[in-house]
Amino acid sequence: MTLNYKNPEVLFRGKRVNVLSVEAPHPKGGLIKREVVDHPGAVVILPLLDPKTVILIRNDRYVVQQTLWELPAGTLEAGEDPALCAQRELQEETGYQAEKITPLLRFFSTPGFCNEILYVFLAEKLAYVGQNLDETEHIQIEPTPLSKALQMIHEGIIHDAKTISSLLYFNTFF
């Protein structure tokens, strides 16, 4: 997705994100400065081992200094097709490849300050081929009954927004 900001100034250039200062229209006229986290986008994968079992992961997240229950996910490379990224990230993080990948939805993660868009895919007909983690990742695979994953959301055990929204969407509409 291409966004056209007025007078963007790069405040910080990072490995995965940039921080920009941009001019935005003020509701009462004129312009105001806003900081924007410029993100390339990401994918979220809801892998089903069978109709009642989802693969969750336990992912060490340094930023919040916790190990979180999550669905597999990953950042898009420049110009990468989201469906191909979903296949790549599924195999890297869980060790599974999917014969069938279906787009479910897309949403902005935090549109108040970040332009990250998340593309959610359903992965089915899985075959295990082995994890291929980045050297900085520590991820445990946790096959979980879908009903238990939903209960974990209800009980406040799952804290990750992309996982919560993707599982609730899937449970509601599929």
Active site residues: 135
Q: How far apart are CA 42 and CA 68, in angstroms?
A: 18
C-alpha gyration radius of the chain? 18
Q: How far apart are CA 93 and CA 59, in angstroms?
A: 10
Count Cβ atoms within 10 A of the Cβ of residue 102 and give its class: 0-12 exposed, 13-18 middle, 19 or more buried.
middle
Helix (H, G, I), strand (E, B) or coil at 3: coil
